[in-house]
Amino acid sequence: MPTVLVTGGAGFIGSNFVRHLLATDPTVAVVNFDALTYAGNLANLADLAGHPRYTFIKGDVTDRDHVRAALQRGVTDIIHFAAESHVDRSIQDSGPFVRTNVIGTQILLDAAREFKVNKYVQVSTDEVYGSLGATGFFTEETPLHPNSPYSASKAGADLLVQAYQHTFGLPAVITRCSNNYGPYQFPEKLIPLFVTNLLNDIPVPVYGDGQQVRDWIHVLDHCRGVEAAWRNGRPGEVYNFGGRCEMPNLELTKLLIRLLGKPESLIRYVEDRLGHDRRYAIDCAKAERELGWAPQVSFDAGLAETIAWYQTNAAWVATIKNKDYMSYYEKQYGSKL
Ligand code: NAD
Ligand code: DAU
């Protein structure tokens, strides 16, 4: 039975991935290795309690001995989601980003070599390509030009993966995806933050002029892409995934406001994010051609479902928007809202 070590499986995308894989492939076992940082939450996988093919290990990817012990459980493959993932936090303090995203990846790569895994998947991001002007798309050939401490740490990790593939023949693939949305996303990212604020009539902070463009993809489409890269991706290759759904932040904000029946007076224009990337847009033709993958969830349907999920799961939100969360949020915005 393939036994996949999924790192970061208690986070937003990792938890959706673990649930997806166990539900769609009865021949696979999952070992979820997650440090449970502020972003990790076992409640995201509460429905898998007692599942015969699921094991959870609380562990840090920078802990070499713990990673090796986890791999000794018959692990055949590694899919590496664990990361510090929020750009704003990387601007406040880049230390944890370098530690987890760079050093953690190096430790995992060493373990992957030692245990001779069949496939290693590095879940990366389109942010490693930097920022686009008004036109054009990121392809897999676009040079790396990371602009934030977050994206620099992800690019550093990607380069290590490529070096291990080249030097040691590690059977590794890299995936680079655009902005995800969907259930279980930590409410510090744009869509869940704005939805949960608006539901409670709390203002929403739009950075700068709100004309930055992001390419939105439903988390399950990303999960299907990572799965396809794991099963069929060619070692040494990079695969981009995107939703073919570009939208300026302000337009998205007004759409959320309309869908929730709230007034536009809840918009607050706040100071721009430092070094803010202007536009991301993904060309995912290679994944479509080589992996037979395509995004399936329309933005209208996915967004409506996501809003409904946050409405139905107010208790999940309440456990997260706790004292620690608020102190971070207040530190970020002060009295600007
Ligand atoms: P997330 O912040 O929701 O979850 C990250 C998970 O990693 C958490 O469960 C956390 O506990 C765990 N983790 C953090 N540090 C760890 C450590 N040292 N050891 C073990 N576990 C640790 O992140 P996400 O949005 O689900 O992103 C998952 C991956 O996908 C990341 O690698 C991210 O760079 C990448 N990605 C995210 C997006 C997006 O839009 N969210 C898009 C493209 C790529
Ligand atoms: O592109 C993929 C990346 O998408 C992932 O690698 C990251 O892990 C993920 O966090 C995401 O990065 P962004 O910085 O694009 O996502 P975020 O939700 O933080 O912001 C989306 C856009 O909205 C961005 O232009 C900043 C803006 N924004 C964000 C927040 C949280 C605001 O205007 N106000 C806000 O309060």
- Whether residue 154 lies inside any domain: the answer is yes
- Which atom of ligand 1 has the smallest separation from the CA of 126? 43
Q: Are residues 130 and 154 in the same domain?
A: yes
Which amino acid is located at 226 in the chain?
Answer: V
- What is d(CA 334, CA 326) in angstroms, rounded to the nearest whole number? 11
Residue in 86, 113, 127 with CA at minimum distance from that of residue 171: 113
Residue 204 pLDDT greater than 80, yes or no: yes
Residue 141 is a catalytic residue: no
For residue 255, give the 3-state DSSP assignment.
helix
Half-sphere exposure of 52 (CA within 13 A, CB side): 3
Ligand nearest to the CA of 39: 1
User: What is the domain count for the chain?
Assistant: 2
Q: How many residues does the chain have?
A: 337
Q: Are residues 91 and 175 in the same domain?
A: yes
Tokens linked to 79:
């899919």
Q: Are residues 31 and 91 in the same domain?
A: yes
pLDDT tens-digit series, residues 55-86: 999 999 999 999 999 999 999 999 999 999 99
Tell me which of 37, 38, 57 to substitute to probe ligand 1's pocket, judged by most ligand atoms within 8 Å of the beta carbon: 37
CATH number for the domain that contains residue 122: 3.40.50.720
Owning domain of residue 73: 3-180+217-241
Confidence of residue 322 (pLDDT cuts 50, 70, 90): confident
Tell me which of 247, 249, 278 to substitute to probe ligand 2's pocket, judged by most ligand atoms within 8 Å of the beta carbon: 249
User: What's the Cα-to-Cα distance from 268 to each of 152, 197, 336, rounded to whole Å?
Assistant: 29, 12, 8
How many beta carbons lie within 10 A of that of residue 283, not counting itself? 17
Q: Are residues 202 and 234 in the same domain?
A: no
pLDDT tens-digit series, residues 6-56: 999 999 999 999 999 999 999 999 999 999 999 999 999 999 999 999 999
Q: Could you tell me if 58 and 34 are in contact, meaning their C-beta atoms sit under 8 angstroms apart?
A: yes
pLDDT of residue 333: 73
Q: Are residues 237 and 307 in the same domain?
A: no
Q: How far is the CA of 260 from the centre of ligand 2 (A)?
A: 21
Q: Out of 77, 84, 127, 158, which one is annotated catalytic?
A: 127
Confidence of residue 335 (pLDDT cuts 50, 70, 90): low
Tell me which of 12, 184, 185, 220 to substitute to probe ligand 1's pocket, judged by most ligand atoms within 8 Å of the beta carbon: 12
- What is d(CA 216, CA 85) in angstroms, rounded to the nearest whole number? 16
pLDDT of residue 329: 72
Q: How far is the CA of 85 from the centre of ligand 1 (A)?
A: 5
Residue 114 is a catalytic residue: no
Q: Are residues 157 and 38 in the same domain?
A: yes
pLDDT tens-digit series, residues 135-167: 999 999 999 999 999 999 999 999 999 999 999
DSSP strand E in 184-330: where? 204-207, 213-218, 238-241, 246-248, 267-270
Q: Is the pTM of this model over 0.95?
A: yes
The H or E element that residue 20 is part of is: helix 12-24
Q: Are residues 170 and 271 in the same domain?
A: no
Q: Are residues 86 and 235 in the same domain?
A: yes
Residue 150 is a catalytic residue: yes
For the ranges 113-117, 194-198, 318-322, the lowest mean pLDDT is seen at 318-322
Q: How far is the CA of 283 from the centre of ligand 1 (A)?
A: 23
